Amino acid sequence: MKKHYERIFFFSIVLAVNWLAPATVLGTVDLFLSPSLQTRATGQIVEVTLSAQWNGTPGQQFSAIDSILSWNPTHLQFLNSDVSMAGYSWFISGFLNDPDGINTTLADGNGLFTVLALPGSPATAPAAPATMIIAKFHFKALAGTPATPIQLLPTLGTFGRTRVLGATAGSDVTGNIATTAVVTIVQPCAPLVGDIDGDTFITFADVAAAVDVYLGIDTLPAHVTAADANCDGQANGLDIQPFTDYVLLWL
Ligand SMILES: [Ca+2]
Ligand SMILES: [Ca+2]
Ligand SMILES: [Ca+2]
């Protein structure tokens, strides 16, 4: 009987030690979107880069990335993805068909972007501060806002997950994905603001032309309207700041 208890005690110790032993530390791959902050005018292109970085044991390899991008479609219109600058020549990349229908449309503010490495040739995420570009995404700035985020969602639908798959089948090496790329969109108070000379472009010539309007040298109504950057019906010193904030984004 004593032997029986000794055995139980021994196995209990073994179990406890195993349970307390630290789990094998696996390297993980962080995904992030950059730049973290950018300012664009309505009508301009917003570019956001998805990158990967090792976080753990050196040279973490991965075979695939699923990334659920999320943005506000009232502020941003998705245009396209670009892997020409990627740090690996992906075997397959794009918004593939998915069982949740996330990619049925990209006009709804979300999409599941996937990259796959060549079978048997995993990609390697570099150590900080180096990063590997996975893809670039382009949006059109639609409407003014102090801040609109583009981010990665951990999950969407039943199967949609943002994840980094390891080099061995079924291994998940997803690290931190909680980054946000914030876009400030500057929208003029009227569509004609900025283009003083009316050539449909905003250039340095418009800056020089605006100065003449603010100084009262040029009083042509169309020029006054285009220089009235706070839309109060007059072109004067109060317009210089909003005019500059908007026009500088085009120069
Ligand atoms: Ca969608
Ligand atoms: Ca112009
Ligand atoms: Ca004004």
Note whether 208 and 197 are within 8 A (CB): no
- Position with higher pLDDT, 36 vs 22: 36
Residue 8 lies in a domain: no
Q: Which ligand places an atom closest to the C-alpha of 247?
A: 2
Token look-up 């951990």 returns 154
CA of 46 to the centre of ligand 2 (A): 22
Give the CATH number of the domain where residue 56 resides.
2.60.40.680
**In this structure, are 143 and 176 located in the same domain?**
yes
Q: Which ligand places an atom closest to the C-alpha of 105?
A: 1
Alpha-carbon span 180 to 152, nearest angstrom: 7
Residue 223 lies in a domain: yes
- pLDDT score of 5: 52
Query: How much is the average pLDDT of 20-37?
Result: 74
In which band, very low, low, confident or very high, does the pLDDT at 3 lie, cut at 50, 70 and 90? low
Q: Which ligand places an atom closest to the C-alpha of 210?
A: 2
**In this structure, are 114 and 229 located in the same domain?**
no
CA of 43 to the centre of ligand 3 (A): 22
DSSP string, the chain: -HHHHHHHHHHHHHHHHHHHSPPP---EEEEEEE-SEEEEETTSEEEEEEEEEEESSSS-EEEEEEEEEE--TTTEEEEEEE-TT-SS--SEEE----TT-TTS-STTSEEEEEEEPPTT--EEPPPTT--EEEEEEEEEE-S-EEEEEEEEESEETTTEE-EEEESSTT-B-B-----EEEEEEE--SSTTTT-TT-SSS--HHHHHHHHHHHTTS---HHHHHHH-TT-SS--SGGGHHHHHHHHGGG-
What φ, ψ does residue 244 adopt, rounded to 5°? -65, -45
CA of 69 to the centre of ligand 1 (A): 9
Q: 79: Cβ–Cβ under 8 A, 6 or more apart, which residues?
A: 45, 138, 139, 140
CA of 36 to the centre of ligand 1 (A): 23
- Is residue 206 over pLDDT 60? yes
**In this structure, are 208 and 181 located in the same domain?**
no
**In this structure, are 111 and 211 located in the same domain?**
no
Q: Which ligand places an atom closest to the C-alpha of 106?
A: 1
Instruction: Give the residue among 60, 199, 196 at the shortest CA–CA distance from 132.
Output: 60
**In this structure, are 93 and 154 located in the same domain?**
yes
> In the chain, how many domains are there?
2
**In this structure, are 143 and 221 located in the same domain?**
no
Average pLDDT of the chain? 90
CA of 229 to the centre of ligand 3 (A): 6
CA of 195 to the centre of ligand 2 (A): 4
**In this structure, are 179 and 69 located in the same domain?**
yes
Query: How much is the average pLDDT of 40-48?
Result: 97
Residue 234 lies in a domain: yes
Q: Which ligand places an atom closest to the C-alpha of 78?
A: 1
In which band, very low, low, confident or very high, does the pLDDT at 127 lie, cut at 50, 70 and 90? confident
CA of 231 to the centre of ligand 3 (A): 5
**In this structure, are 133 and 173 located in the same domain?**
yes
Note whether 35 and 183 are within 8 A (CB): no
CA of 108 to the centre of ligand 1 (A): 5
CA of 125 to the centre of ligand 3 (A): 52
Residue 33 lies in a domain: yes
Residue 220 lies in a domain: yes
- pLDDT score of 7: 52
Helix axis angle, 240-247 to 204-214, nearest 10° = 170
Global pTM value:
0.84
Tens digits of residue pLDDT in 101-114: 999 999 999 999 99
**In this structure, are 182 and 213 located in the same domain?**
no
Residue 194 lies in a domain: no
Alpha-carbon span 93 to 109, nearest angstrom: 19
**In this structure, are 131 and 42 located in the same domain?**
yes
Tens digits of residue pLDDT in 166-194: 988 889 999 999 999 999 999 999 999 99
CA of 142 to the centre of ligand 3 (A): 24
Q: Which domain holds residue 139?
A: 28-186
**In this structure, are 168 and 121 located in the same domain?**
yes
- pLDDT score of 211: 96
